[in-house]
Chains A and B, each alone.
Chain A
Amino acid sequence: MNFVQHAPVFIVLLPLTASLLCLLFSRISRNLGSYIVIAAIFGAFLSAATVLKQVLASGGQAIHYWMGGWEPPIGIEFVLDPLNSVLAVLVTFIALMVSIYSRPFVKREDWLHLGGYYTLFGLLCVGLCGMIITGDVFNLYVYLEIMSLSGYGLIALGGRKSMLAAFRYLLIGTIGASLYLLGVGYLYAMTGTLNMADLAKLVAAHLDSPLFAMAVACFIIGFGIKMALFPLHGWQPDAYTFSHPGAAAFIAGCMSKAPAYAMVRFLYYIFHVDNLVVHSALNVIGLLGIAGILIGSIMALAQFDFRRMLAYSSVAQIGYIAIGLAMGNLYGFIGAVLHMINHAFMKSALFLVIGGIQYRFGEVNLYRLGGMHKKIPISTVTLTLAALSMIGLPPTCGFFSKWYLMLGAYTGAQYFYIAVLVISSLLNAIYFFRIIEQVFVQREASLTEIQPPSTKLGLPIEMAVPIVVMGLAILVLGFCNGDIVTDVLKVGLPEVFLR
């Protein structure tokens, strides 16, 4: 069997197998299950990287992988173009980092909890990767459900308060998923196909049909709920705040990106933005994005729980992606996709940092972080870099997505987006500099140790390494964004921009 040829399926298959076997192995030896899941996620990361390399080497030609050799439109296919293979690399990489990172949190639990945690974690990774790489709209629904169910589980693992948060997410999330299914139903009724490439061709004849408008509306609400687009974000602050501290970084960093990418896929690759229905849909998304940016930022200002503040800031950052999509031009699109990547990294990095603080000091109040730079210097460096990136100051990666978004706004003559981006940066600056100030200035509110440091780094090595790597990644992404844009994103542009 040729590994390279089958690499696309391994992205999903490896973590899926490992998660299903995880509990069994955990029963045999407590830690074995977690090692297997981590190894499988590493394997998935390697497969995704291989695929990305392959796609780029062939000049952006998409790889079509037919499951079991069944030809579409009957069989299920995975389609990997430059854009989604880079997102698959991103998701598996962050999954790898977070899965290593979260071991100290669950290390002392019994086999059932340890194994269960890693099973859910692996399944979440499967769901996200599957959603990103699949080329079949119904298959996407399956992965969406895998992602959601494992997500509910991981959120519920966070402790007593998290039950309610998970339940609320379950209720709202199910509505989202059902709406998506409904939309798929409309499309199927119109075109009789579930394959995306097929759909893209056949749907062109039905663009005036009211069913099509209904389907678009369903998709926007469904994905809007899943990606926490304002005002559909109600479940999200609680879910992020009370989710399992080990997995929070993965949940907050990646769980909103796969639905966002699915939305990109539908609007730009299948429906080709250039029709009236999608055009008005984009306007709605743009307005929601603006509202989300402003209200999310203002709500974030009002929080004192670090995780809750980050959750509201996610609402704002999803707004960035939304307005980028809504611009409907080349640079807006690039900005939105680049921001998905950048935001995944910076939000994960911030949740890794607060998870570390929670682990060692049991503290999440952002006004009580005084003197953190003396106790865990590496986390402070990552915190600072990620915060600067959230504000959008160069040379961190957050600045460059803002740069492309602003270029998009200017070329599309949508100047109000520039104003919104400027205001949002300044609001971000207020709530992140507030934290940095606290860290360096406040001495008396020193943190109390609940978990004495075992290493010189201040945190267990499994936690310290991911924190450092994610911090560096923010800088590296900043300096390499030119390459990412020219070599990856511009190669995988939707047809609309190539005409």
Chain B
Amino acid sequence: MTIVDCRPFLAVGVSLLAALLVAFSDKRPNVREAWSTIASFIKFGIILSMVPAVLNGDVYTYTLCQITDTVGLTLRTDPAGMIFATLASMLWVPINFYSIGYMRCNNEGEQTGYFAAFAVCMSACMGIALAENLLTFFIFYELLTLASWPLVLHKRNDEALLASRKYLIYTLISGQLFLAGVIAVYCIAGSIDFRAGGLLTIDMAPKWVLQSVFVLMILAGSVKAAVMPLHGWLPAAMIAPTPVSALLHAVAVVKTGVFCVLRIVCFVFGPKLLAQLGIIDCLAWAAAISILVSSMIALRQDNLKRRLAFSTVGQLSYIVLGAALISPLSIKGAYLHLVAHAVMKITLFMCAGLIITRTHRNNISEMYGIGKKLPVTMACFTIASLGIAGMPFIVGFISKWNLALGALQAGKPLYILVWVASALLAAGYLMPVCQMAYFRSDPREKFIQYGAFSLKMLVPICVTTAISVALGVIPNIYPHFYRLAVMASEAICAGWTGGWL
């Protein structure tokens, strides 16, 4: 059943409004941060209020206006979009508290602009998650690029300038190519509304045209999803404050990238057409290679944030690979891993930020004995690390299990080896951090603690860790990510079994 309801737009609008209010409360930090906190709760509430109906198979839809002569600015809550919307709005609550603590403890400048841009980013995320057609999607996609650009530039020094330019170069070029792809889809299919299972069919255009349109569009997703060799911007963008890294690399930007890949693969082209076109294998190879290569690069990074960044590159490619295998289980696994990686990686980045704030140590080789000084933080870090490595009862396991089964279902069992290898590598690059923290003592016997202890930073870490354990033990716990992923994958793969089993 389709329900016409403006709630999707309220979810987008609430943080845009918050951004305005934040910008106008420049002189009063407490008021400013209150706006963004209130907005984060309201947004999460709005999204949660739509979850039951979506689980029932209903769809909320609303058209704000005709954005061109034939296309509407329309939001629509399908299960796939709801997964992302729920995830992003859920994680904004802790990351917002963490931001407040982090920015204050580190005496960062330009905080007004920071919180305003952050709120706009979250609006763009909601829009991307719930967009009903490619044009609406593209509008919010570019809005996200623009709103996250000042966040990368936050430090306002030469390094930040270079990183932000690199970011813009990657995202704007791919965005324009994406636009060309959208135009082509519109002219070929006569519509750009997402349809589960694909809106293009093989008889609409010559094969080579469809293949080149796919390449144009998938490039945009791959850039934001940091699939190698298009990942260059991501480690560079690590110059931004840590909450931004957590946002960019766990919730917003990179996730919109993989979400974009999933939308294109499942809702524009569809598994059946892609199996006929054959070009999807190239994406699968690229993803597999970037899983392995980025994990190996991560092994060699000493800077904690950079190591996490390369780990992100690898983990995102899991999701892309899941999409590229186009079997029902792998797509379900991809949606689940979207959630799983977000929860784990946000925890890891928040831990890294807290360590940097409290000890001013950026490099893993300096992190002697911080396990004893920051016990809770390191405990959370360890749990999240185990999750990344794929341990059962932590959130990452179920998704990887589904992804591996999906590879079998698609008749490409060799990809399972990629996952096994990368799990081992993940353990290889994250466990040394824990080992350093717990079992090595400081040779200088000097441990300086900087800054005040802030519960605003610690509590969000504990919350996300708790979420990652809860989702690992009971995958279908409220708000029912598992059920949503199953619904999404069933809708996409109606009458398609993946080709082998």
Partner of A479, one of B67, B156, B172, B183: B67
**A472 touches B (CB below 8 Å):** no
**Complex interface: chain A residues within 8 A of B177 (CB):** 422
Chain A residue with Cβ nearest B145: A393
Q: Is the CB of A425 within 8 A of B176?
A: yes
**Complex interface: chain B residues within 8 A of A441 (CB):** 153, 156, 161
Nearest Cβ distance between residue A262 and chain B, in whole angstroms? 25
**Complex interface: chain B residues within 8 A of A394 (CB):** 138-139, 142-143
**Complex interface: chain A residues within 8 A of B138 (CB):** 394
**A411 touches B (CB below 8 Å):** yes
Nearest Cβ distance between residue B451 and chain A, in whole angstroms? 25
Partner of B183, one of A393, A395, A407, A486: A407
Nearest Cβ distance between residue A490 and chain B, in whole angstroms? 7
**Complex interface: chain A residues within 8 A of B146 (CB):** 388, 393
**A400 touches B (CB below 8 Å):** yes
Q: How far is it, in angstroms, between the C-alpha of A394 and the C-alpha of B66 when the chains are bound?
A: 14
Nearest Cβ distance between residue B70 and chain A, in whole angstroms? 8
**Complex interface: chain A residues within 8 A of B142 (CB):** 393-394
Q: Is the CB of A406 within 8 A of B179?
A: yes
Chain B residue with Cβ nearest A377: B23
Q: Is the CB of A426 within 8 A of B187?
A: no
**B34 touches A (CB below 8 Å):** no
**B184 touches A (CB below 8 Å):** yes
Q: Is the CB of A418 within 8 A of B69?
A: no
**A163 touches B (CB below 8 Å):** no
**B438 touches A (CB below 8 Å):** no
**Complex interface: chain B residues within 8 A of A443 (CB):** 156
Chain A residue with Cβ nearest B113: A440
**A481 touches B (CB below 8 Å):** yes
Q: Is the CB of A429 within 8 A of B153?
A: no
Q: How far is it, in angstroms, between the C-alpha of A11 and the C-alpha of B180 when the chains are bound?
A: 41
Nearest Cβ distance between residue B465 and chain A, in whole angstroms? 36
Q: Is the CB of B69 within 8 A of A406?
A: no
Known: A410-B184, A422-B176. A482 touches B156 (CB 8 A): no
Q: Give the secondary structure class of A's interface.
A: helix
Q: List residues 212-233 of chain B with CB under 8 A from any CB of chain A.
A: none
**A242 touches B (CB below 8 Å):** no
Q: Is the CB of B65 within 8 A of A482?
A: yes
**A299 touches B (CB below 8 Å):** no
Nearest Cβ distance between residue B133 and chain A, in whole angstroms? 13
**Complex interface: chain A residues within 8 A of B67 (CB):** 395, 400, 479, 481-482
Q: How far is it, in angstroms, between the C-alpha of A299 and the C-alpha of B468 when the chains are bound?
A: 54
Q: How far is it, in angstroms, between the C-alpha of A28 and the C-alpha of B66 when the chains are bound?
A: 52
Nearest Cβ distance between residue A376 and chain B, in whole angstroms? 15
**Complex interface: chain A residues within 8 A of B187 (CB):** 407, 410-411
Q: List residues 422-443 of chain B with CB under 8 A from any CB of chain A.
A: none
**B186 touches A (CB below 8 Å):** yes
Q: How far is it, in angstroms, between the C-alpha of A486 and the C-alpha of B68 when the chains are bound?
A: 9
Q: List residues 467-495 of chain A with CB under 8 A from any CB of chain B.
A: 479-483, 485-486, 490
Most chain A CB within 10 A, of B165, B177, B183, is at B183
**Complex interface: chain A residues within 8 A of B180 (CB):** 406, 418, 422
Nearest Cβ distance between residue A152 and chain B, in whole angstroms? 39
Q: Is the CB of B68 within 8 A of A483?
A: no
Q: Is the CB of A485 within 8 A of B179?
A: no
**B31 touches A (CB below 8 Å):** no
**A437 touches B (CB below 8 Å):** yes
Most chain A CB within 10 A, of B66, B68, B73, B150, is at B68
**B417 touches A (CB below 8 Å):** no
Q: Is the CB of A426 within 8 A of B172?
A: yes
Known: A426-B172, A429-B172, A482-B67. A395 touches B139 (CB 8 A): yes
Q: List residues 134-166 of chain B with CB under 8 A from any CB of chain A.
A: 135, 138-139, 142-143, 146, 150, 153, 156, 161, 164-165
Q: List residues 400-440 of chain A with CB under 8 A from any CB of chain B.
A: 400, 402-404, 406-407, 410-411, 418, 422, 425-426, 429, 433, 437, 440
Partner of A440, one of B66, B143, B156, B184: B156
Q: Is the CB of B68 within 8 A of A481?
A: yes
**Complex interface: chain B residues within 8 A of A388 (CB):** 146
**Complex interface: chain A residues within 8 A of B176 (CB):** 422, 425-426
Chain A residue with Cβ nearest B173: A426
**Complex interface: chain B residues within 8 A of A404 (CB):** 68
Q: How far is it, in angstroms, between the C-alpha of A440 and the C-alpha of B71 when the chains are bound?
A: 35
**Complex interface: chain B residues within 8 A of A482 (CB):** 65-69, 71
Q: How far is it, in angstroms, between the C-alpha of A425 and the C-alpha of B169 when the chains are bound?
A: 12
Partner of A406, one of B156, B161, B164, B183: B183
Residues 326-337 of chain B, each 1 if its beta carbon lies under 8 Å from chain A, else 0: 000000000000
**Complex interface: chain A residues within 8 A of B143 (CB):** 394-395
Known: A394-B143, A437-B161. A479 touches B184 (CB 8 A): no
Q: How far is it, in angstroms, between the C-alpha of A334 and the C-alpha of B69 when the chains are bound?
A: 11
Chain B residue with Cβ nearest A479: B65
Q: How far is it, in angstroms, between the C-alpha of A404 and the C-alpha of B67 when the chains are bound?
A: 12
Chain B residue with Cβ nearest A484: B69
Known: A426-B173, A426-B176. A486 touches B139 (CB 8 A): no
Nearest Cβ distance between residue B256 and chain A, in whole angstroms? 15
**B10 touches A (CB below 8 Å):** no
Nearest Cβ distance between residue B289 and chain A, in whole angstroms? 28
Chain B residue with Cβ nearest A400: B68
Q: List residues 299-315 of chain A with CB under 8 A from any CB of chain B.
A: none
**Complex interface: chain A residues within 8 A of B17 (CB):** none
**Complex interface: chain B residues within 8 A of A429 (CB):** 168, 172
Most chain B CB within 10 A, of A403, A483, A485, is at A403
Chain A residue with Cβ nearest B155: A441
Residues 58-84 of chain B, each 1 if its beta carbon lies under 8 Å from chain A, else 0: 000000011111010100000000000
Known: A394-B138, A394-B143, A410-B183. A486 touches B66 (CB 8 A): yes
Nearest Cβ distance between residue B362 and chain A, in whole angstroms? 23
Q: How far is it, in angstroms, between the C-alpha of A178 and the C-alpha of B177 when the chains are bound?
A: 44
Q: How far is it, in angstroms, between the C-alpha of A480 and the C-alpha of B68 when the chains are bound?
A: 8
Q: Which residues of A contact B (CB under 8 A)?
A: 334, 388, 393-395, 400, 402-404, 406-407, 410-411, 418, 422, 425-426, 429, 433, 437, 440-441, 443, 479-483, 485-486, 490
18 A-B pairs (CB sep. < 8 Å) = A393-B142, A393-B146, A394-B138, A395-B139, A400-B68, A404-B68, A406-B179, A407-B183, A410-B184, A410-B186, A411-B187, A418-B183, A425-B176, A433-B168, A441-B156, A481-B68, A482-B66, A486-B69
Using A394-B139, A422-B180 as known contacts, list a sample of 5 further A-B pairs with CB atoms less than 8 Å apart, ordered by residue number in A: A393-B146, A404-B68, A422-B176, A426-B173, A433-B168
Smallest CB-CB A-B distances: 9 pairs? A482-B66, A394-B139, A485-B69, A422-B176, A406-B183, A410-B187, A486-B69, A393-B142, A441-B156
